Amino acid sequence: MTVTLEVATDSWPIEGGFTIARGSRTHANVVVATLREGAHAGRGECVPYARYGETVEGVMDDIARLAPEIARGLDRAGLQQAMPAGAARNALDCAFWDLEAKRGGTTAAALAGLAEPRAQITAFTISLGTPEKMAADAAKAASRPLLKVKLGGEGDDARIAAVRAAAPQARLIVDANEAWTEALFARNMAACQEAGVELIEQPLPSSADGALATLERPIPVCADESLHTSADLERLAPLYDAVNIKLDKTGGLTEALVLARKARAMDFRVMVGCMLGTSLAMAPAVLVAQEADYVDLDAPLLLAQDREPGLAFEGSLLIPPGPALWG
């Protein structure tokens, strides 16, 4: 039976906006690929990201371009060679997983040879802002067990101190989104150490992260923008202690599972993260998150409205998706 492809885009408002070192956003703009075969449909969602040269229009075109190949029998295995890693392949890869599960009357976890997923604690993100604004946001989230604090370079020592004072019991991880310089590194690292931060994500630009080989890092440092696929791990091994796996960077669940296994074998700590998407984008990542040291799949909690059905959360506890959502 022929598999047909549909591509659509949605925009979802973010509650209160979202700010990182590279700028601010008010909406999460996503692309959804749907594969249909008879009565069965599989969906996958991706988030095109300008940092990697992606646009919504370009990603939609890249996905739609494969419609004839899919109709002629291109499958998930063939997709890995037909398209490079990135958001477009992620949407299609996850749609293939969902379609395979629904067609076979099973689950994506079973198809991957994994146990059925368990509920996981996710980090909750505090957007970049003034120390006062970040302290107010942290105070509202102080009962959550794990906060992820967005930093921005100059002034980060004051920001992280303010967040720690406002949320004294929460575990903290931080994400600089490439905003630190070598000159700021020691001061900001010391401030994070004073605040009891457990992990620092991508402090230096990916183009300058070779400096991490000689900089003291008393807190583990995690690669995000510097990591896309398992092919990157050899270069990153001397520089980073952890890696952040995002399906929009790996090009889908298929490569994300390979990357996670290789990273653990190389003694990296593993975080599973996300772009700003809906529950449909988070659902496949829940499978990778099962063996992760840190889970950061809170995007639906940051939206003013999520798709229905969506993931269920009990505070910061993420409940695995049901088949009506994905997988």
Query: Which are the contacts of 266, defined by CB distance < 8 A and separation ≥ 6?
Result: 233, 237
Spatial distance between the Cα atoms of 17 and 197, rounded to a whole number of angstroms: 25
**Phi, psi (deg, nearest 5) at residue 91:** -60, -45
- Which residue type does 273 have? G
Is 246 a residue of the active site? yes
Strands of the 4-20 sheet, one edge to the other: 4-20, 23-37, 40-46
Instruction: List alpha helices for 23-140, DSSP H.
Output: 56-64, 67-71, 76-82, 87-104, 108-111, 131-140
Is 150 a residue of the active site? yes
3-state secondary structure of 76: helix
Strands (E), the chain: 4-20, 23-37, 40-46, 120-121, 124-126, 146-150, 171-175, 197-201, 221-223, 242-245, 269-272, 294-295, 313-314, 317-318
Instruction: Considering the candidates 148, 246, 249, 262, report the single residue annotated as catalytic.
Output: 246
Find out whether 121 and 298 touch, Cβ atoms under 8 Å: no
Instruction: Considering the candidates 102, 140, 148, 150, report the single residue annotated as catalytic.
Output: 150
Give first-to-last CA distance, the chain, whole Å: 21
Q: Strands 313-314 and 317-318, how do they pair?
A: antiparallel
Positions marked catalytic: 150, 246
